[in-house]
Each structure stands twice: as C-alpha cells, then as structure tokens.
Chains A and B, each alone.
Chain A
Amino acid sequence: DTEVTQTPKHLVMGMTNKKSLKCEQHMGHRAMYWYKQKAKKPPELMFVYSYEKLSINESVPSRFSPECPNSSLLNLHLHALQPEDSALYLCASSQDIPAGGFNEQYFGPGTRLTVT
C-alpha cells in the first residue's frame, strides 16, 4: 500500500467556521508533511512532523493548527481563515527526514479548500 489518503476532497467554509483536514498513510512512514498549493503555483511547505513531533513550521499563521495523533494520521485544523487561504492542501509522507539524503515523498490527492 503506497497510498496517502486525504479527506475531504473538497471543502467550502466561511471565515468564522472551524474545520479539519485529515490525512492518513499506512506505509510505516515516520515523516508527514502539509503543503499549500495555490492555483498555477508550486506546492509550498507548511509543516513537517517527524516521529509525531512538529519538526518544521514554515512561519504559518496560527489560524492553521497541525496535529499528529499517531504515526499514521495527520490533521490540519482550520479556524478563522481568510479568502486568500483558498488553495489545494496537500499531505505527503516519507520514510523519515534524511539529512541531505534521498527523500521520496508520497503525496495524497489533496483537499481543495474554498474560503468564502
């Protein structure tokens, strides 16, 4: 099983809503990632978890709150988002975080988020 699953596929939320994005992998990977991809742009890293601990936070606003409840699951909690946060949110996983070595990341299909 080399699949990363994400739910929901699509999400529309108002600026006062609270919602969560979910990501799951069963490959035994110990590193998991959240990326944000705006239309016609490359993915940009938001967060990295390594062994269920937050390893990297790329200066993401606090209205995005990640959570890694166990080694297979990664959540992204959303609160008080702005319309400019509308994007495709991609989850990825890798065996671990290599120090300068090969880092094959497996991506999920993404959640397309629209903030109204």
Chain B
Amino acid sequence: GEDVEQSLFLSVREGDSSVINCTYTDSSSTYLYWYKQEPGAGLQLLTYIFSNMDMKQDQRLTVLLNKKDKHLSLRIADTQTGDSAIYFCAETPSGGSQGNLIFGKGTKLSVKP
C-alpha cells in the first residue's frame, strides 16, 4: 500500500525542540518532503531530502532519513509559536502516478508560550 503514517498531535513549549516522525512505505521513493500548513492556508514546502542522504540541515530544521526502517523525521530547534501548524510528510512513490505526492495524515504541532 501507499500509506504514509504520522502521529496526529505534538505539543511542546516555546524554545524546546520538536520532533515529528513519519513512516513511509515505498522504499524506492527518491525524494521525501516536509510540508507545513497553517490554519486556513495552503501547503508550503519546508524542506526535502534525497533518498541517498541520511541527514539534511536547513537553519532550525533537521531532517533525518532511515531508509532501512523507512522512517523520516523533522526536528525543529528552538520552536516558536509561529511554528504552530500541521506538518505533512510526503513521498512520490515510484509505482504511482507521476507527480502524485502521497501525504501522511499530518501532525498538528501546538507550541505553548
């Protein structure tokens, strides 16, 4: 199947690190993505990782990829209230329709001041 799994909720205090986890199903996906959706808005690409990488760092964001376990994580350092949103991981499975992004169910991140 093409289910991408994520935990639904995460609550952290401002200034802490947040870690959002994702398990994907297609080991041949070449790129994996993290999108952010703020309330009432569309999705914004935050970061992505190519499948031959284990880690990618982009300012406060760190993406870790474990291909063996098909596990992807997004770490947000020094989480701010403006980071409150729903975070979706996504893959483009090789056997699927070209261009089709398969999204996880989304993790709602709540940041308490």
Contacts and interface: CB of A to CB of B under 8 A. Distances in A.
B43 interface: yes
B99 A55 contact: yes
Given A56-B99, A100-B94, A102-B48, A43 B43 contact: yes
Contacts of B81: none
B100 interface: yes
Given A90-B43, A109-B40, A110-B42, A45 B101 contact: yes
B56 to A, nearest CB: 13
Q: How large is the interface on B (under 10, 10 to 19, 20 to 34, 35 or more residues)?
A: 20 to 34
Contacts of A45: 97, 100-101
A108 B104 CA distance: 19
Contact of A107 (B40, B44, B106): B44
Q: How large is the interface on A (under 10, 10 to 19, 20 to 34, 35 or more residues)?
A: 20 to 34
B42 A107 contact: yes
B27 interface: no
23 contacts: A6-B42, A31-B99, A42-B103, A42-B104, A45-B97, A48-B99, A50-B99, A55-B98, A56-B99, A58-B97, A92-B42, A92-B43, A94-B99, A100-B30, A100-B92, A102-B31, A103-B31, A103-B101, A105-B101, A107-B42, A107-B43, A110-B41, A110-B42
The 5 closest A-B pairs by CB, nearest first: A107-B42, A42-B103, A97-B99, A107-B43, A56-B97
